[in-house]
Amino acid sequence: MGLSHPAFLCITIELMEHFHRLITIISLVTLCLGLGCGRNDEFQSNESTMQKIVLQTDWFAQPEHGGFYQALAKGFYEEAGLSVEILQGGPNAMSIQKVIRGRAHFAMNRADAVCKMASRNIAVKMVMSTLQHDPQGILLHDSSPVRSFKDLDGKQVMAIPGLSWIRWIEAKYGIQLEIVPHDFGLQRFLNDESFIQQCLVTNEPFYAQLAGAKPRVLRLKDSGFDPYHGIYCLSSLLEDNPDLVRRFVRASIRGWKDFILNDPQPALDMIAARNPKMSPEFMKFCYQSLQSEGLITGKDSTGDLIGSMDSSRMLFLEKELISLGLLEIEPDTNLDWYTMEFLPKHGDEPVYARP
């Protein structure tokens, strides 16, 4: 997508925190009364043996969605009795509203974003991870005197206002950042060696290098801010159709394993067809970054952790968000915002088809 393609994985929820919170609350109340909280006949079995699933991604088609496209391209969803439609995202995807309205079964987001939704009484749960580590970072020129997060004190940083990591970094290092709203481009960075901005390690460094710059990245996960990225859905879907959720989750994990451990070309070909701005060179960079950073596999290169979530990490994140004042809940509230129920258990046979 050229220099204007920072593929920010979780734009929708953060934009809505500032501009659409009231709309979301009104929509939720209205839709729960009028539509039964997302229960939609479109999602039930049709006359064929296939069940339709709609997945809303967080950005335009790209390698960070590779596991889903691999499962689609190689027929893993079909084997599980599912007809899956992948909707491309973008800055105006409004994925939360689509899930609430019943126009999508599942959507992508960060764990902290899903936790925030639950704290606002939006009945959603995260059901699997896509990335074991957070790919966000701070993009700097190699010549920058900023060598650590503490060195960012008082510095101007172009980022999406209100993101959890901003409060996290400020609190942990006792610093203050001057946040400039992100313009989703690299032009200012390329024109000013002192400029600092938010990035993804899988994206902006490629375009900066392509333009002749020498970028360096401070990885946010090194600060301790390391939420999973994953898939969430309405809690009512889990209650009404657990078998459908289980089959989708397991076929998706199968796709992610095949994508990162074997030949990714089936997914990359489909991604390129849906998003012509994805050049082979960029997709190679992105895929290699996913591998080298262990973003999909985590610390276990065998792939056993792909799709998994650790409850201790989720609880740690929740407590940190509460301590930072980022969750709208009363003390001692029990947030029920994720589940491991639909993940494959150790030793499970790889059953993908409907019983």
Q: What are the helix (H) ranges across the chain? A: 11-19, 21-35, 66-73, 76-79, 95-101, 111-119, 164-173, 187-191, 204-210, 235-240, 242-261, 265-274, 280-292, 311-323
Answer whether 0.75 is exceeded by the pTM.
Answer: yes
Torsion of CA 320, 326, 328, 330, to 10 degrees: 40
Helix (H) / strand (E) element for 82: namely strand 82-87
Q: Per mean pLDDT, which range of 87-91, 113-117, 339-343 is the poorest?
A: 87-91
| Position 93 confidence tier, pLDDT thresholds 50, 70, 90 | confident
Please state, as a whole number, how many other Cβ atoms lie within 10 Å of the Cβ of residue 261. Answer: 15
- Residue 268, pLDDT > 50, answer yes
Summarize pLDDT for 244-263 with one digit per residue, the tens. Answer: 999 999 999 999 999 999 99
Give the 3-state DSSP-derived string for 47-80, with helices as H, strands as E and coil as C. Answer: CCCCEEEEEECCCCCCHHHHHHHHHHHCCHHHHC
> What whole-number percentage of the chain has pLDDT above 90?
79
Summarize pLDDT for 158-176 with one digit per residue, the tens. Answer: 999 999 999 999 999 999 9
d(CA 27, CA 78) in angstroms, rounded, equals 33
pLDDT confidence of residue 115: 97
Domain boundaries, the chain: 2-132+227-323, 136-223
pLDDT confidence of residue 331: 66
DSSP designation for 338: B
- The answer for residues whose C-beta is within 8 angstroms of residue 163's C-beta and 6 or more apart is 14, 198
Summarize pLDDT for 4-61 with one digit per residue, the tens. Answer: 443 333 433 343 344 334 334 334 433 343 334 444 444 444 446 899 999 999 999 9
Full strand arrangement of the beta sheet holding 215-219? 178-181, 156-159, 197-200, 136-141, 215-219
- Mean of the per-residue pLDDT values for the chain? 87
d(CA 209, CA 190) in angstroms, rounded, equals 10
pLDDT confidence of residue 27: 42
Query: In sequence order, what DSSP letters do the residues of 248-263 get, joined into one string?
Result: HHHHHHHHHHHHHHS-
Q: Report the top-level CATH class of 2-132+227-323.
A: alpha beta
Average pLDDT over residues 255-281: 98
Kindly report the CATH number that applies to the domain delimited by 136-223. 3.40.190.10
pLDDT confidence of residue 59: 93
Average pLDDT over residues 228-251: 98
pLDDT confidence of residue 345: 84
Summarize pLDDT for 175-224 with one digit per residue, the tens. Answer: 999 999 999 899 999 999 999 999 999 999 999 999 999 999 999 999 99
Phi, psi for 199 (deg, rounded to 5): -155, 175
Average pLDDT over residues 328-339: 84
pLDDT confidence of residue 163: 94
pLDDT confidence of residue 29: 38
Angle, vertex CA 61, rays to CA 137 and CA 91, nearest 5: 65
- The answer for residues whose C-beta is within 8 angstroms of residue 92's C-beta and 6 or more apart is none
Angle, vertex CA 166, rays to CA 99 and CA 177, nearest 5: 145
CA-to-CA separations, 37 to 3, 236, 244, in angstroms, rounded: 40, 7, 18
Nearest of 94, 88, 76 to residue 307 by alpha carbon: 76
Average pLDDT over residues 280-292: 98
Query: In sequence order, what DSSP letters do the residues of 300-323 get, joined into one string?
Result: -TTSTTTT---HHHHHHHHHHHHH
- Residue 104, pLDDT > 90, answer yes
Average pLDDT over residues 305-328: 95
Average pLDDT over residues 137-150: 98
Check if the beta carbon of residue 163 is closer than 8 Å to that of residue 14.
Answer: yes
- The answer for residues whose C-beta is within 8 angstroms of residue 288's C-beta and 6 or more apart is none
d(CA 156, CA 169) in angstroms, rounded, equals 14
d(CA 323, CA 349) in angstroms, rounded, equals 41
Angle, vertex CA 257, rays to CA 282 and CA 58, nearest 5: 55
Same CATH topology for 2-132+227-323 and 136-223? Answer: yes
